[in-house]
């Protein structure tokens, strides 16, 4: 493989990983934008999506649908995973965050952390501590472009991620609910005085963000071939780094941040000892927070009490 | 008071607290339908709090607020808005990362009658032509005066029965203040009742029918605006004469 | 009123069903309803109980509006017992415990005490200064590895390594603290989490120094020296604290010293500065409190206590590896602080024992331990954010900022 092929290959990998991070980061950024809370449980919601995906996909595979109705199978798998996690997201919001909306930030953070621990251990108890294998539905067929091998699965996943992000952008800018969401994020009291139902808006945010995370979870499962109850943690950190890097609260920022983190990680793993690649992500996160906490595309956030 | 018309808004012994600060200590007032009423008072008297309490943002601890005879003191802000009460709060509070057009659109959030909304949009643009020029610009990048016009325009977009305005003249050039007050009269003529909070007592009393004077959480004077303009106390304290 | 509560109950039961049933019901592709429904049933039972209590209280509320809840009354009753007796009694109990317990129980006791001292240290950062630290366990690791490396490479004794570990821990605390000083509270949580993971990853990957995931072993136990006049001459003889009771007493002393230290800090000028920072940082800064310096100090001191506990831990086991210092451990320590009551020393001591000892004793529950920790953390924050034994001055601050939570407000959107 020559250098162009190598670079192209790594670029595809980076875009793939970056879109996954971006999808997860969107969940953080939307929730943070609207209630200024780090949803620690978001990583677990992502994992829950991956598990629902594997459960549904395995069942459909046994029923022979993968061969007979390939596209329908994918729609069902993604649809169910996203729908369930959307409801799970609302449940988390209702149980753990809503009662604390007027409390100190420390209480809300601790409650979110509690939810995260609870969900991750719940999944461990129900799904076991070991990897759960994802049925490989895409096969190993690959397309060669300039010597780089790109699998069908990769292409599908990248396209789906892009489609989801475009859909989100349209939703937020074109629909009534999307506009209500943005208004609430920018000035909650004013939004209420204009007749926007905050509870409903927040609930919708807690459906969309986790649903995107769930889609990312299924994608990770399809691509890496396995899921584990604790995989949410590392993805959470990286997606969070992406959200911060892009500017928390900013939707395009999350997408950009996801891509950059993907590039950094793939680049590092390609040329430098890969054992240290996670250290790199953490370092990037900390450096961004220290040097430019408002991120690349974010508004400068005012200092708020803990 | 000479006014006998049916009152659109009535406050009876309203008390509001911030933590342990007793900000409203029993406010009672009544605004007749179709009127312009104003509330004047020193800084920290509780004028903004009065408006926020009416809107349900800072709920009343005690007392009753009736809108068209119906108690609204337990409603949430979005429900109060749904009844037809719009507020342009202190400090403009426009959405900085939405365009002028989107800000105006948000004003009509609860309305379903698209045609009438489009009509009202044209009307707001005719009241404040500059907003039309700036329709695509982000709210946060408008000048202070433009933001104030946008805030008032946004409130009008809900076609409110009662418009609560908190210091619309704050920080504006005298000419612009005049424009805004003229516009308020125009709005009122179209049938919107206006309840106005102002530091600029002279102008406010000039366009109002009824005036209320507030001091440290209480209403200390209620009279026709023209009478208040002649009142010695008011003259000394608020009109700088 | 009752209808509203019933509606709430139904909504909660529904959301809990969503949270719990698939979580616990799907082992592989098949659904096992009994286990899931059982656990869901427990939660719903609690909710129903809560509802009944509320309904009954609501009926009686008119009669005895100002009756204090039982927790308040118990607390008052406890506080009426002279302090000296309480503390003396507890100290006596702690002292004679190894004489009555078997080795396993002593071991559990030691673990509890380690976590108590960690909780007390974290309490300085979270409870007193109000900074949420999710990477606290890193300092524990620093203490453990400092002692291990010094002892294995240079043969430095426990007591000589301890101050070095403390200093190194404080330095690390400052390194982590410094860049985060100007950060908002929630960013701080993520950064400390990141730092904690970096420390663990470095320990895991730096094979040449730390032996990577295999860990280090063979460290000497702490020693006591006593004079000996045997063989005619005077000499110091080293006595290795190998037995569990001996180690127990050592950690007990460490915990007692920690308690004394934290109490003195709490009541000192520095403690007051911390509380000022916690309540309102801007105001504290404006009124002349050197916030930067005080926050750094909180980090450094918190780290120092963790470092001592870490050194003890490594010495006791004579073994250490990076997997002792997972993020989950930080969460456990945090859970102790939260359950006990943020800022409350007796609360943390009790919570440390409850959270560590209960799952150790009921081995069957061990799998559910972290699940319960998560649930406890959330439930505590929602229901009783000030903890089991609240620090008195902390109480108001953690509750909803809404100053007058009048009855209607429940029905409103909050
Ligand atoms: N969010 C708040 N928290 C605590 N106290 C407040 C808050 N808002 C207002 N107050 C207090 O309530 C009192 C009334 O404030 P309010 O804003 O209603 O005054 P105002 O009459 O509008 O003054 P101004 O003319 O300066 O706008 C003041 O003493 C003020 O300090
Ligand atoms: Mg005001």
- Position C404 pLDDT exceeds 50: no
Q: What average pLDDT does the segment C167-178 reach?
A: 87
**pLDDT for residue C1:** 63
Q: How far apart are CA A276 and CA C198, in angstroms?
A: 9
Residue C89 lies in a domain: no
Residue recorded with tokens 């202070």: B144
CA distances from A197 to A188, B81, B104 (A): 10, 11, 18
CB contact under 8 A, B59 and C409: yes
Ligand of minimum distance to the alpha carbon of B50: 1
Other Cβ atoms less than 10 A from the Cβ of C393: the count is 10
Of C191, C202, C399, the CB nearest to A286: C191
Q: Would an 8 Å CB–CB cutoff place B74 in contact with chain C?
A: yes
ipTM: 0.90
Claim to verify: residue C240 and residue C296 sit in the same structural domain: yes
What pLDDT band is residue C64 in, cutting at 50, 70 and 90?
A: very low
Query: Does residue C221 share a domain with residue C186?
Result: yes
Domain that holds residue B60: 1-84+193-241
HSE of A118, CA atoms in CB hemisphere, 13 A: 23
CATH code of the domain containing C250: 1.10.3470
CA distance B76 to chain C (A): 7
Facing residue for A194 by CB, picked from B96, B97, B107: B107
Asked if A207 contacts A38 with a C-beta cutoff of 8 angstroms, the reply is no
Q: Which residue has the higher pLDDT, A133 or B52?
A: B52
pLDDT of residue B52: 95
The more confident residue out of C197 and B103 is B103
Cβ pair A186:B97 closer than 8 A: yes
pLDDT at C224: 74
Q: Which domain holds residue C222?
A: 98-398
| Same domain assignment for residues C45 and C190 | no
User: What ligand is nearest to the CA atom of residue B16?
Assistant: 1
Note whether C408 contacts B19, CB cutoff 8 Å: no
Distance between CA A155 and CA B170 in Å, rounded? 57
How far is A197 from A174, CA to CA, in rounded Å?
A: 18
Whether the CB-CB separation of C352 and C359 falls below 8 Å is answered with: no
More confident residue, A72 or B19: A72
| Pick from A125-129, B169-173, C52-56, C253-257: least confident | C52-56
- Closest Cα to atom 24, ligand 1: which residue? B43
Side-chain half-sphere CA neighbours of C112 within 13 A: 24
| Span from the CA of B81 to the centroid of ligand 1 (angstroms) | 22
* C371, part of any domain: yes
Is the C-alpha dihedral spanning B104, A298, A19, A116 positive or negative? negative
Cβ atoms within 10 A of the Cβ of A129, count? 10
Closest residue CA from atom 28 of ligand 1? B44
Over residues B185-201, the mean pLDDT reads: 92
Q: Which structure tokens are listed for A240?
A: 């969070």
> Please, are residues C342 and C127 in contact by the beta-carbon 8 Å criterion?
yes
- Same domain for C241 and C102, yes or no, is yes
**Residue A199 alpha carbon to ligand 1 centre in Å:** 27
| A138: its two tokens | 């895409």
Decide if C231 touches B, using CB distance below 8 A.
no
Mean pLDDT per segment of 10 residues, for chain A of length 306 residues? 80 90 92 88 93 89 85 92 91 88 83 89 83 83 78 88 92 92 92 94 94 94 89 89 86 90 87 79 81 73 33
Tell me how far apart the terminal alpha carbons of chain A are, to the nearest angstrom. Answer: 53
d(CA A22, CA B231): 65
Pocket of ligand 1 (CB under 6 A): B 18, 21, 23, 41, 43-49, 90, 199
Span C342-364, average pLDDT: 80
Name the range with the highest mean pLDDT among A66-75, B100-109, C225-234, C268-277. B100-109
Cα–Cα distance between A158 and A148 in angstroms, integer?
Answer: 16
Does the beta-carbon distance from A189 to B105 stay under 8 Å? Answer: no
Tell me which residues of chain C, numbers 372 to 401, contact chain A at a CB-CB cutoff of 8 Å. 373-382, 385, 397-401
Residue A23 confidence (pLDDT): 93
The string of DSSP letters for chain A reads: --HHHHHHHHHHHHHHHHHHHHHHHHHHHHHHHHH----TTHHHHHHHHHHHHHHHHHHHHHTTHHHH-HHHHHHHHHHHHHHHHHHHHHHHIIIIIGGGTTS-HHHHHHHHHHHHHHHHHHHHHHH-SS-EEPP--S-S-EEEETTEEEEHHHHHHHHHHHHHHHHHHHHHHHSHHHHHHHHHHH-HHHHHHTT--HHHHHHHHHHHHHHHHHHHHHHHHHHHSEE-TTHHHHHHHHHHHHHHHH-TT-HHHHHHHHHHHHHHHHHHHHHS-GGGHHHHHHHHHHHHHHH-TTTTTPPPPPP---
Neighbours, chain A (3 or more CB pairs < 8 A):
B, C
A284 vs C110: CA distance, rounded Å: 39
The verdict on C101 touching A (C-beta cutoff 8 Å) is no
Sorted by where each begins, the domain ranges of chain A are: 19-232
Q: What is the percent of chain B where pLDDT is above 70?
A: 98
Give residue A286's pLDDT.
80
Lowest mean pLDDT among B97-101, C176-180, C251-255, C347-351: C176-180
The model's confidence at residue C391, banded by pLDDT at 50, 70 and 90, is low
Which of A38, A231, A305 best tests the C interface by mutation, with the highest count of C CBs <10 A? A305
Number of domains within chain C:
2
B121 domain-assigned: no
A219-241: pLDDT as tens digits: 999 988 889 888 888 898 889 88
User: What pLDDT is stored for residue C346 in this prediction?
Assistant: 85
| Inside any domain, residue C84 | no
Whether residue C245 sits in one domain with residue C327: yes
DSSP string, C152-167: III---HHHHHHHHHH
Q: Are residues C74 and C152 in the same domain?
A: no
* Predicted pLDDT at A305: 27
Q: Are residue C103 and residue C75 in the same domain, yes or no?
A: no
Could you say which residues from 185 to 224 on chain A have a Cβ atom under 8 Å away from some Cβ of chain C?
Answer: 198-199
Q: Flag the least confident range among A143-147, B62-66, B130-134, B167-171.
A: A143-147
pLDDT at residue C127 above 60? Answer: yes
* Interface contact flag, C202 A279, Cβ < 8 Å: yes
Task: Please state whether beta strands B193-198 and B36-41 pair in parallel, antiparallel, or not at all (unpaired).
Answer: parallel
Q: Has residue B49 got a pLDDT over 90?
A: yes
- For residue B212, the 8-state DSSP code is E
Q: What is the pLDDT of residue A211?
A: 96
What mean pLDDT do residues C210-227 have?
79
B29 closest CA partner among B162, B241, B235, B213: B213
Q: What is the phi-psi region of residue B92: left when phi exceeds 0, alpha when psi lies from -120 to 50, beta otherwise? A: left
Nearest Cα residue in chain C from B76: C412
Q: Which atom belonging to ligand 1 lies closest to the Cα atom of B199?
A: 25
What is the per-residue pLDDT for C375?
84
* Residue C155 pLDDT grade (very low, low, confident, very high; cuts 50, 70, 90): confident
State mean pLDDT over B42-59: 94
CB pairs < 8 Å spanning A and C: 204
pLDDT score of C403 more than 70? no
According to the per-residue pLDDT averaged within each range, which of B50-54, B187-191, B231-235 is highest? Answer: B50-54
B96 touches chain A (CB under 8 A): yes
For ligand 1, atom 19, name the residue with the nearest CA: B44
What are the backbone angles phi and psi of residue C405, rounded to the nearest 5°?
-70, 75
Tokens describing residue C370: 């972290």
Shortest CA distance from B62: residue in chain C: C406
Q: How many structural domains compose chain B?
A: 1
Q: Strand B36-41 to strand B210-215: parallel, antiparallel, or no bridges (unpaired)?
A: parallel
In CATH, what number is assigned to the domain containing residue B205?
Answer: 3.40.50.300
Is the confidence at residue C394, as pLDDT, over 70?
no
Q: Residue C310: which pLDDT band, with cuts at 50, 70 and 90?
A: very high
Among the atoms of ligand 1, which is closest to the Cα of residue B58? 1
Is the domain of C281 the same as that of C337?
A: yes
A84-88, B201-205, C86-90, C318-322: range with lowest mean pLDDT: C86-90
| Torsion sign, CA atoms A61, A63, A68, A72 | negative
In this structure, are C339 and C286 located in the same domain? yes
Q: Which of B179, B169, B225, B171 is nearest to B200 (CA)?
A: B169
| Ligand 1 probe mutation, B15, B22, B49, most atoms within 8 A of CB | B49
The verdict on a CB contact (< 8 Å) between A192 and B109 is: no
Q: Does B55 touch chain A (CB under 8 A)?
A: yes
**Mean pLDDT estimate for chain C:** 78
Question: Taking CB atoms and an 8 Å limit, are C412 and B18 in contact across chains?
Answer: no
Interface contact flag, A191 B76, Cβ < 8 Å: no
Measure CB to CB from residue C403 to each of B19, B74, B76 and give the nearest one: B19
Closest CB to B17 among C404, C412, C413: C404
User: Which of B17, B39, B42, B48 to mutate for ligand 1's pocket (most ligand atoms within 8 Å of CB)?
Assistant: B48
The minimum-distance atom of ligand 1 relative to the CA of B46 is 18
Do C228 and C129 sit in the same domain of this protein? yes
Predicted confidence at residue A306, as pLDDT, reads: 27
Q: What is the pLDDT of residues C252-303, one digit of tens each?
A: 888 989 888 888 888 888 888 888 888 777 888 888 888 888 888 888 999 9
User: What radius of gyration, in Å, describes the C-alpha atoms of chain A?
Assistant: 19
Chain C CB contacts of B74 below 8 Å: 408, 411-412
- Structural domain includes residue B146: no
Pair A102, C397: CB distance under 8 Å: no
């Amino acid at each position: 493989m020559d250098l162009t092929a190598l670079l192209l290959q790594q670029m595809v990998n980076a875009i793939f990983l970056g879109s996954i991070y971006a999808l997860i980061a969107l969940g953080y950024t939307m929730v943070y934008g609207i209630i200024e809370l780090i949803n620690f449980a978001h990583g677990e919601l992502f994992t829950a999506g991956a598990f629902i995906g594997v459960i549904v996909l395995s069942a459909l595979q046994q029923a022979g649908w993968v061969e007979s109705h390939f596209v329908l199978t994918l729609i069902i798998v993604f649809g169910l995973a996203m729908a369930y996690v959307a409801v799970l997201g609302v449940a988390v919001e209702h149980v753990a965050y809503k009662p604390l909306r007027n409390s100190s930030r420390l209480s809300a953070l601790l409650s979110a952390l509690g939810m995260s621990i609870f969900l991750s251990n719940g999944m461990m108890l129900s799904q076991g501590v070991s990897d759960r294998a994802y049925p490989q539905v895409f096969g190993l067929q690959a397309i060669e472009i300039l010597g780089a091998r790109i699998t069908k699965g990769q292409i599908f996943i990248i396209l789906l991620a892009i489609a989801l992000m475009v859909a989100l952008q349209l939703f937020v800018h074109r629909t009534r609910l999307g506009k209500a969401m943005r208004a609430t994020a920018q000035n909650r009291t004013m939004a209420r005085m204009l007749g926007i139902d905050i509870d409903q808006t927040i609930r919708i945010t807690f459906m969309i963000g986790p649903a995107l995370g769930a889609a990312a979870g299924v994608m990770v499962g399809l691509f890496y071939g396995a899921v584990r109850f604790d995989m949410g943690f590392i993805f959470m950190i990286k997606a969070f780094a992406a959200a911060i890097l892009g500017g928390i609260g900013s939707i395009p920022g999350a997408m950009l941040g996801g891509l950059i983190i993907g590039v950094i990680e793939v680049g590092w793993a390609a040329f430098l000892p890969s054992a240290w690649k996670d250290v790199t992500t953490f370092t990037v996160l900390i450096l961004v927070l220290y040097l430019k906490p408002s991120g690349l595309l974010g508004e400068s956030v005012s200092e708020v009490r803990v | 008071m000479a006014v006998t018309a049916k009152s659109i808004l009535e406050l009876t012994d309203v008390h509001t607290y911030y933590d342990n600060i007793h900000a409203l200590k029993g406010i009672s007032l009544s605004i007749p339908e179709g009127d312009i009423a104003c509330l004047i008072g020193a800084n920290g008297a509780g004028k903004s709090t009065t408006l926020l309490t009416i809107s349900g943002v800072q709920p009343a601890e005690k007392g009753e607020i009736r809108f068209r005879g119906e108690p609204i003191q337990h409603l949430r802000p979005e429900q109060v808005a749904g009844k037809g009460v719009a507020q342009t709060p202190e400090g403009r509070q426009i959405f900085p990362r939405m365009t002028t057009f989107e800000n105006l659109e948000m004003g009509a959030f609860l309305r379903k009658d698209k045609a009438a909304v489009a009509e009202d949009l044209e009307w707001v643009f005719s009241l404040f032509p500059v907003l039309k020029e700036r329709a695509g610009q982000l709210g946060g990048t408008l000048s202070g005066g433009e933001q104030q016009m946008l805030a008032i325009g946004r409130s009008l977009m809900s076609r409110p029965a009662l418009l609560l305005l908190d210091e619309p003249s704050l920080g504006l050039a005298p000419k612009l203040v005049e424009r805004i007050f003229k516009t308020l009269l125009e709005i009122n003529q179209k049938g919107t009742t206006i309840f106005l909070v102002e530091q600029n007592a002279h102008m406010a009393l000039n366009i109002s029918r009824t005036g209320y004077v507030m001091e440290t959480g209480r209403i200390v004077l209620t009279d026709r605006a023209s009478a208040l303009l002649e009142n010695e106390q008011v003259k000394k304290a608020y009109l700088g004469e | 009123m009752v209808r509203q509560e019933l509606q709430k109950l139904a909504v909660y039961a529904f959301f809990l069903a969503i949270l719990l049933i698939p979580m616990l019901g799907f082992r592989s592709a098949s659904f096992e309803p009994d286990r899931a429904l059982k656990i869901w049933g427990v939660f719903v039972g609690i909710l129903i109980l809560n509802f009944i209590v509320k309904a009954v209280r609501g009926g009686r509320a008119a009669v005895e509006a100002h009756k204090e809840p039982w927790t308040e009354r118990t607390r008052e009753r406890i506080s009426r017992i002279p302090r000296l007796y309480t503390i003396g009694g507890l100290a006596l109990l702690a002292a004679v415990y190894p004489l009555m317990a078997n080795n396993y129980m002593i071991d559990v006791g030691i673990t509890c005490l380690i976590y108590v001292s960690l909780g007390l240290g974290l309490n300085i950062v979270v409870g007193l200064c109000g900074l949420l630290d999710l990477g606290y366990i890193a300092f524990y690791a620093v203490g453990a590895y400092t002692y291990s490396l010094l002892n294995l490479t240079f043969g430095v004794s426990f007591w000589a390594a301890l101050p070095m570990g403390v200093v190194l821990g404080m330095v690390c605390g400052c390194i982590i603290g410094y860049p985060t000083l100007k950060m908002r509270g929630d960013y701080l949580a993520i950064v400390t989490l990141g730092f904690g993971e970096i420390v663990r990853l470095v320990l895991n990957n730096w094979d040449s120094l730390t032996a990577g995931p295999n860990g280090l072993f063979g460290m000497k136990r702490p020693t006591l020296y006593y004079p000996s006049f045997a063989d005619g001459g005077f000499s110091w003889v080293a006595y290795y604290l190998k037995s569990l009771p001996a180690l127990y007493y050592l950690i007990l002393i460490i915990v007692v010293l920690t308690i004394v230290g934290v109490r003195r800090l709490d009541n000192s000028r520095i403690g007051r500065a911390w509380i000022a920072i916690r309540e309102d940082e801007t105001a504290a800064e404006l009124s002349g409190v050197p916030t930067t310096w005080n926050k750094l100090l909180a980090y450094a001191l918190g780290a120092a206590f963790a470092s001592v506990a870490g050194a003890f831990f490594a010495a006791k086991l004579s073994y250490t590896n990076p997997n002792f210092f997972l993020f989950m451990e930080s969460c456990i320590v945090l859970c102790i602080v939260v359950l006990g009551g943020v800022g409350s020393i007796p609360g943390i001591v009790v919570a440390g024992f409850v959270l560590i000892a209960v799952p150790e004793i009921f081995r069957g529950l061990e799998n559910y331990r972290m699940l319960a920790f998560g649930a406890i953390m959330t439930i505590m924050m929602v229901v009783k954010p000030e903890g089991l034994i609240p620090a008195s001055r902390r109480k108001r601050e953690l509750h909803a900022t809404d100053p007058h939570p009048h009855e209607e407000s429940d029905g409103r959107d909050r």
